[in-house]
Structures are given as structure tokens and as C-alpha cells.
Chain A
């Protein structure tokens, strides 16, 4: 029996069209827009001005509060301006506009292909380095990694869990990375283990990637304390709490962090970035992005510089197909619909999806028939149908009691609703309102 999480979950069509496409390295684009706030927490403070010459890998903005991350230039060239740009969230945010000239890397970066296994740095030095290099969680939530690795006083990490699940349909970036950079990922994991002071790590991979499971198993035999666990395919297994449940059987309590049950979860992409940062001195300025869609000429996985306009990537995958009705940053379950292709790739961009017009519109909304499919699909054990009504009636206290804040917005309820009700829209609104109420209480 394959392991998985118990409660809820759905099975969207996988559509992993680009699973056998090797990661292609794209040359630096002509221009980049590098947003200052690419991670959870406060945006970084810019260190460069208009007209400044920058090199690839140069620090251009500094994360100054604890939950914040450094931002580095992904190209060499000239800073054109620092101005607002619409990012994936749809909000206007500050970004550094750079016009590319050549590709001149800062010389501290080790660009050789040799794999460096040994790491002599101490726990504190590793965390400092990860902070310095601007590493954030690459699974999508973009939580600054140095924060995650700083275990709070009184808590103890026991197990490092590495997320190789990639449960979102279409996306194959992590899959390819495991196949092509497996050894680097494993070294990255040993560094993370050292930073956390644990001697056990588990990589969870869904069973729809048997090649990655076999490959990682083979490589992991060479590393002490790293196990591979094959998981049954079920969305949202890549969600932190569901992955911990699947791998260890432990449940993180409501509103608490994984460290509560002795776990820290990191994505395979993050482990790779940690390897490059610590062993190769390379800041996080490029990542693997899947560009895909049913009508896309050649669905691909690209190694892309941060700040590259999405349009450049789509061009490389064969251009925007006719009848495209929606462009999504991320996966189809949790990704965000974009309103322009001038939006830049950021640290958290795992994929760009192009949907034909016919798949772009929501289905017609019908009355709730109380079928309870949303209740059985919710991995958090909530009652989406009830929360919809409470939010609709502005019953915020009731919504809080019914744990609207536990919702992680995985979308399983709305996916499964036969009446096509926009349940997650209501839940998001509820989380927003109830969150405000909770924050005002502590003030």
C-alpha cells in the first residue's frame, strides 16, 4: 500500500505534457523586471539606482526585516528605472528594470559543473549563507528559507521532509530537476539537514513519477539518512500539512507550524537552490519553469532568469496558441490568472499554463444540492458549503468557529462541486475578513 494523506483530496487530470522534456537553459532576455518583493514578508530595499551597472548575481536589494529575502540581479546590464509593475498577484509593486548587456557574472560564483559534496560550514554559517543568497521556498509559497531553518526556541526538529510531490497537474519542473540534478538535490538536502541539526530526511514523491523515484532511490543509497517514499497520487499532497501526514502519519495542529510535530518541509527545488547557494556561492536568480498547455506547440521546461517577462518564455515554447483564453502562473489548481504577458517570472513561478478559450470560463453556477462532495473533498475537514453561506451572510464569528482560517485554498471543494459553485471565492473572502477581525483583536 502506497502512503498518502487520509482526509479528502481529489484527482484532477494530470496532463503532465512536458514530463519527458529536458530542462532547456534559456539565454538571458533583453530586459528583466525584478520585483523587490518576491517572497512572503516585507519587500527588499533597493541598493541600486537608475543608471547603475550591475552584474549577474549582484545583490540589488536587501531584505531587512527577519521575514524578508535578498534580491539579486539575474542579468548583467544597466538599471533603467525602479518603478511599479503589475505582478502575478495583480497588484502594482516596485521592481528593478534592467536592460541586459552580455552576461557578466560576479566572480564569486563557482560556475564549474563539478559537484561539491562536502560542506565545512557550521549550522549558523549555512543559515547565514542561505539568507545572503536570497533563497526562498520554491514550491510556491516563497517563504524565506533562513526563517524556516531557524528553529524557534524550545522546539526541536526531528525530520526534514523534502517535497518532490508536484501534485499540481501540468507542472513538471520538480520532476525534471530530480531526474537531471538529483545528486545536487541530495547534497542540498544534507546541507539542510546540517542546518536543522537532524539526521533524518525523507523525500516524498508521487507514484506518477516512477522514473524520479527510481533515480532518487539509486542516488540516495550513497547518502546517509535520506529515504525516498513513494506516495499515492492525490491532490493536494504537496501541501505541507498533507505531506507530513502522508509521510509520517503526524497531524500538524490547526494554525500551527510543522515544527510543532518535529518536521520541516522544503521543496526539491529549494534543496537544489540551497546546494547552489552554499556550495557554489550562487544567489537565487534563476529557476526551472514549466511552460505548457494543451495547444502549446512544444510544452517545455526552461531554466529561466528571474525577471524574464512571461511573453519571452511563451515565445520559446512556440508562442501563444490561437484561441488562448487564459494564462496562468502556477498550476491549474492554485495558480493565478495573468492579465498580461509582460509579467515577470519570480522566485515562486513554477509554471506558465496556457488554456484554450473553451477551458477558460467557469461552468454555470447552479443551486447547491447538498451532495456533500465538498465536505468529503476538503483535506482540512472543513464544510465549504456551510462557510459559503456564512460568508454570504457576513456571519464572521460563525465562519471563524467553523475554522475558515484553516482553509489553505487548495480548491478541492470548488473542483469537485457538481453545481459549479465558486466556493473558494467565498472562502478567500471569509479568510480575509476573519483574518482582519483576529488581527484587530490582538492590537
Chain B
């Protein structure tokens, strides 16, 4: 008989692995990716390829030559960062700007903290904000869905739905006056609107989200509390003055909210560990998003909201503890 292995229990392991989780997220991103190819054509495909390739390369190089650890590209986390980063930019963004954003996301936001699992902020979101501040014009000129998919850079650009709204309200127009300029719900659902390349289709993103919940990659707590907070808060404002504040369904569907709530806020590494913490995290993201959208200087607030809540996460982990067994004793 050969040598027996001695190890502590448990002697069996569940079927989850980091690789399975990360590749599961990639699969969940496929519907939104297909929509982006459909509406933004080759430009979208190119952006995703550039971002993913840069993220993988940078992670490999930093791991191997600076951190001197075994590079673990196959776990798929760099690919997710790449796809999400590309999802958060206009499809006609110059490729070199996307390269700079990707380098920042991986080298500074992720690897400088020690790599997978150690970064306090979501790399893709921090990379996006870095680009937004560095290249404000390119990052806010949104191509409209293309007529010819084989053209990489489309000359037609226009504001996003939230941009139109924010601009109009600032100029003193009412919601009903703006209505004709805003896309209707069907377009918001399907994605036939201007915007970042991955955020446009609410349906495609929700399909990905449901897939991840079904595969137990994420739990429902963060997306639901995030979306519900936005819905209730904007709903309250809308009830107060529907001419000043647009209806809550518009807020849910427009901009990067669903992308953020489903794929960014749920990033395991940068969100809280307890379900109660997750609910508070979602609530905070929701409140901040609405505050920035309605009263801030940017038309969209999802990135900032999630990044701020990322910073709050360690605090939530410290003070929000799970209910211990035997703590609340029934008489």
C-alpha cells in the first residue's frame, strides 16, 4: 500500500473554485457584450480586446517581475477587469487611452495592494474614474448606435439619456418638455441608446445578473438593495415634483446603474462580508448615486457611489457582524 495522506478534516471540498467563479462572471457578461457588438459594431469588439489584452499583460508582468509571484492569469479576474473597464467607456475612445486606463486599473488599483483579493477598490471602476478625470472630453462623447457595424469610429455622437436630462433640467426645462428628447423605455431596455458600450441594455445585464445569482456567484442582497434604494428615493422625488424630477423607472434603466448594481457593486473583493453589511452597502450606493445624479455636477454617479462605498466596506466589516448562533435566544 502506498503512503497515506494525513490531513485535518474536512476531507471533501465543494465544487466551487476561484476559476469557476471568475469564468462564471465572464459568461454572465456575454449577453451585454453581444448587445454592445450589435449596437456599436467593431468599435466595441476592439475596445474589449484592447482592455482585456492590456489587463492580462500588465498583471502578468507585475506579478512576475515586481511581486515575484506565480502569475495567475488563468483565474480570469484580469479578464473581468478588462471587460468591465471597456464596458464603462464610449466605444469610440482612442485605444491608447483605454490602454492607460487598463494599466492604472491593474498595476495601481489591484497589483500594488498585492493582487487578487487584496485591493480595496474595484479596479475597473477606479480605472474608469481615472480616465474620466484624465480625458474628460473623450470620455463623455458618446457614439450613437451605429448604422454600419464595420465602421470602427462612428462620427455620430450624442449625449446619454442622463446627460440630456441633467443638461435640460439645469437649463430650466421641465421633464415633460424634455420627454421628446429622451429615449423611451423599450430602447432603454434593449440598449438602442448612446452610452458606455456595456451599459446600454438593461435586459442583457439583468440576464447576466440572474445567471450569477442562480450559479450562486453573487447573492441578491447588493443588487436588490441598490436598485430598490434608487427606485424608492427617485420615486419619492418624482412624487414631490414630477416636472423637476423624472420618474424612477427611467432612473433604473438609464445610465450605468444596472451594470454597476449587478457587476461592479457585487465585486466580492470590495464589498462587505455579511448580508446585513451588503444591504447597507447597497443602500449607501443607491443614496449616493441619486444624490450625484440629481444634485451633483456629473449626470451619472454610479462609479463614484460604488467607489465611495468600497472605502466604507472595511468599516462595515468591522462593525456589522453576522447574527451569532445562540445570540438571540428565543424564550
Residues on A facing B (Cβ under 8 Å): 7, 10, 12-13, 90, 169, 241, 245, 249-254, 256, 261, 320, 323-328, 330, 332-340, 353, 355, 357, 359-363, 366-373, 375-376, 378-383, 385-386, 402-403, 406, 409, 411, 414-420, 422, 424-425, 428
Contacts and interface: CB of A to CB of B under 8 A. Distances in A.
A252 B2 CA distance: 45
Interface in B1-55: 1-2, 4-14, 16-18, 20-21
Contact of A383 (B1, B20, B273, B275): B273
Contacts of B115: 367
B140 interface: no
B68 interface: no
Given A254-B325, A371-B21, A418-B14, 15 more contacts: A7-B325, A12-B12, A250-B329, A251-B330, A325-B5, A330-B9, A337-B4, A339-B6, A355-B11, A375-B322, A381-B327, A383-B273, A403-B324, A411-B9, A417-B14
B11 to A, nearest CB: 5
B18 A366 contact: yes
Name the residue among B2, B269, B322, B325 with the largest chain A CB count within 10 angstroms.
B325
A362 B275 CA distance: 29
B8 A371 contact: no
B117 A241 contact: no
Name the residue among A254, A369, A379 with the largest chain B CB count within 10 angstroms.
A369
A409 B321 CA distance: 20
A180 B18 CA distance: 45
Contacts of B268: 369-372
A362 B7 contact: yes
Contacts of A250: 329-330
A254 B9 contact: no
Contacts of B274: 372, 375, 383
A314 B269 CA distance: 46
A335 B11 contact: yes
Complex A-B, nearest 9 residue pairs according to Cβ-Cβ distance, in ascending order = A411-B10, A367-B117, A418-B16, A381-B324, A360-B5, A371-B268, A372-B273, A380-B325, A332-B12
Given A253-B329, A379-B325, A381-B327, A363 B11 contact: no
Given A369-B269, A418-B21, A334 B324 contact: no
A88 B77 CA distance: 42
Contacts of B2: 323-325, 357
Contacts, number: 172
A253 B326 contact: yes
A111 B314 CA distance: 65
A221 B117 CA distance: 56
B10 A406 contact: no
Contact of B8 (A10, A379, A381, A424): A424
Given A380-B324, A383-B321, A335 B9 contact: yes
Interface in B209-244: 219
A335 B271 CA distance: 34
Contacts of A373: 16
A325 B1 CA distance: 9
A418 B7 CA distance: 18
Contacts of B271: 370
A249 B6 CA distance: 38
Contacts of B317: 386
B14 A254 contact: no
Nearest to A325: B5
B315 interface: no
Given A325-B5, A372-B273, A411-B9, A418 B17 contact: yes
Interface string B268-296: 11111111001000000000000000000
Contact of A256 (B10, B269, B324, B326): B326
A206 B28 CA distance: 35
A333 B12 CA distance: 7
Contacts of A261: 329
A348 to B, nearest CB: 14
8 contacts: A245-B325, A320-B1, A327-B4, A366-B116, A368-B117, A369-B116, A383-B273, A409-B9
Contact of A249 (B5, B8, B323, B330): B330
Interface of B: 1-2, 4-14, 16-18, 20-21, 72, 75, 77, 115-118, 219, 268-275, 278, 317, 321-330
Contacts of A420: 13, 17
A241 B325 contact: yes
A285 B93 CA distance: 79
Nearest to B268: A371
Contacts of A370: 117, 268-271, 273
Contacts of B329: 250-251, 253, 261
Given A371-B21, A372-B268, A337 B7 contact: yes
Contacts of B8: 337, 422, 424-425, 428
Contacts of B275: 376
Given A383-B321, A415-B14, A419-B18, A424 B9 contact: yes
A269 to B, nearest CB: 20
B128 to A, nearest CB: 21
B154 to A, nearest CB: 38
A268 to B, nearest CB: 23
A171 to B, nearest CB: 13
A334 B10 contact: yes
Nearest to B116: A367
Given A12-B12, A13-B12, A381 B325 contact: yes
A47 B324 CA distance: 46
B11 A326 contact: yes
A106 B327 CA distance: 50
B14 A337 contact: no
B11 A328 contact: yes
Name the residue among B6, B9, B278 with the largest chain A CB count within 10 angstroms.
B9
A414 B14 CA distance: 9
A326 B273 contact: no
A414 B10 contact: yes
B1 A252 contact: no
Nearest to A428: B8
Contacts of A372: 268, 272-274, 278
A9 B115 CA distance: 30
A427 B40 CA distance: 52
B324 A361 contact: no
Given A326-B4, A332-B11, A422-B8, A416 B325 contact: no
Contacts of B328: 251
Given A418-B18, A424-B10, A338 B325 contact: no
Nearest to B328: A251
Contact of B323 (A7, A90, A402): A7
Contact of A385 (B13, B17, B273): B273
